[in-house]
Structure 1
Amino acid sequence: MLAHALLAKQAGCSLIGSLLGDFVRGAPPAHYPLAWRHGIRLHRRIDRFVDTHPASACSVQRLPTELRRWARVALDVYYDHLLSRDWPRYCATPLPQFASTVYRALDEHRHALPPDLVRFADFMTARDLLAAYRDPEVIAEVLVRLAGRCRRPSTLAHTFPFLEQADAGLGGDLAQLYPATLRFARGEVAARQLRPAA
């Protein structure tokens, strides 16, 4: 969530559209603004880019074999932890200020958002979750919550200690992955002449 929000800002794409990417299945609804629909599609292209990047594959290999089926979900969360912890490396705007901007945007458009995103946005804002991602205990809690939402048994609730053990390596992976992903996102925006509205 944090990485997608920052990528949207730095690539010049719709913040709301980017955040909708995890909450919309299938074709983006036709009644959404064009910028939102572009943001949803960009979110999906970013996910595919990350999943096939060598640094991401390296991160998966840092985890025990029995945890790798759910590794990419766990890594998405842990990358947000690393991003928030090393925030000045990636963004000049202070994290609390950036997080507030995201919360305000979601609240401004809550009437048009799917119920699942509205509920998550309310929870995220109440907990100041984007800034709280710096806290390892919060990351462990998020992984447990995600495990509880899975329809099939998952290893997510047990993954945090192994992520923490691999912290230095994962930080190095993200230091390669984020700039590459940002270049990709900017290229996609430029190629499609996407507009950053809301």
Structure 2
Amino acid sequence: MNYLAHSFLTFTDGQIVGQFLEDFIRNRDRFSFPKDIQDGITLHRAIDTFTDSHPAIHEAKKIFSPLVRLYAGAFVDVSMDYFVANDLQLHSLAEWKAHSLRVYRVLNEHKKWLPENFKLMLKKMEEDDWLYNYREDWGIKFSIKNVLNKAKYLEKDIPVFEAFLENKDALQQCYHDFFPDLLDHAKGVNTLLQLEN
């Protein structure tokens, strides 16, 4: 899952911070954070593990694999954020906007825990409102381009966005087959985390 889904699948402010930190810290550093942030890191990992093993995600990867091989999962993650952002059964547009603003606020309020490279990204994320704009084709195009730019072994002009557009209906079906299961899983993990507190 990508940034929007991870931020949506949280239950406390600290978990929001942990969900975002997971991709920016070394494993051994996770214990240096407050318990609530550690819970977010744990939740992030549980979400990724569940996602990687779900049959619908395996189907979605087949759309991108011919183009990007082992990077297919990264592009599925970005694609799923498009469908999360457009899922009005989860939130109305106004609620998605409020969610995005809350995430930026929480992250800014916890800046002392954020590494410098994340702070730079957060500034861009907030300025361009990445979380809310994942609902737009151009927002996902921007995210796909970012993944391509970061990938060491991929050409930068691979038509991944075109594959997303051509297969949007199939990807949406994968989302509908997958996301309710993920939501239930995240709730279960959170319940276990709260029992540890």
Q: TM-score, normalised by structure 1?
A: 0.88
**Corresponding position of 1:48:** 49
| Cα distance change on mapping 1:104 and 1:157 into 2, 3 Å | farther
The answer to whether the Cα contact below 8 Å between 1:5 and 1:102 also exists between their aligned partners in 2 is yes
Does the 8 Å CA contact 1:35/1:194 hold for their aligned counterparts?
no
1:12–1:186 contact (8 Å) kept in structure 2: no
Match of 1:75 in 2: 76
Cα deviation for residue 30 of structure 1 reads 2.8
Shift of 1:154: 5.3
Q: Which has the higher contact order (CA 8 A, sep 6+)?
A: 1
Query: Conserved in 2, the CA contact under 8 Å of 1:17 and 1:38?
Result: yes
Residue 152 of structure 2: aligned partner: 151
The percentage of aligned residue pairs carrying the same residue is 26
Structure 2 match to 1:32: 33
Structure 2 gaps of 5+ residues are none
1:5 Cα offset (Å): 0.4
Please give the alpha-carbon distance, in whole angstroms, between the structure 1 residues aligned to 2:117 and 2:13: 25
Q: What does the per-residue CA deviation read over 1:24-58, in whole Å, with 9 as the maximum and x for residues that have no partner?
A: 23234332101111211220121011011001011
The number of residue pairs the alignment matches comes to 194
Alpha-carbon contact 2:149-2:156 (below 8 Å) kept: no
Q: Give distance in 1, aligned partners of 2:196 and 2:109.
A: 19
What is the match of residue 89 of structure 2?
A: 89
Q: How far apart, CA to CA, are the structure 1 residues paired with 2:158 and 2:10?
A: 29
2:6 aligned residue = 4
CA RMSD of aligned residues (A): 2.3
Asked if 1:138 is matched to 2:139, the reply is: yes
CA positional deviation for 1:13 = 7.3
Quick one: distance in 2 between partners of 1:99 and 1:175? 22
Q: d(CA) in 1 for partners of 2:122 and 2:164?
A: 26
Amino acid at match of 1:162: A
* Runs of 4+ in structure 1 over 6 Å off: none
Tell me whether 1:192 sits opposite 2:158 in the alignment.
no
Partners of 2:159 and 2:26 lie apart in 1 by 28
**TM-score, structure 2 normalization:** 0.88
Q: How does 1:117-132 map to 2 (within 5 A)?
A: 117-132=118-133
Q: 1:61 to 1:149 in 2, by over 3 A?
A: closer
- Answer yes or no: is the 8 Å Cα contact 2:82–2:135 preserved in 1: yes
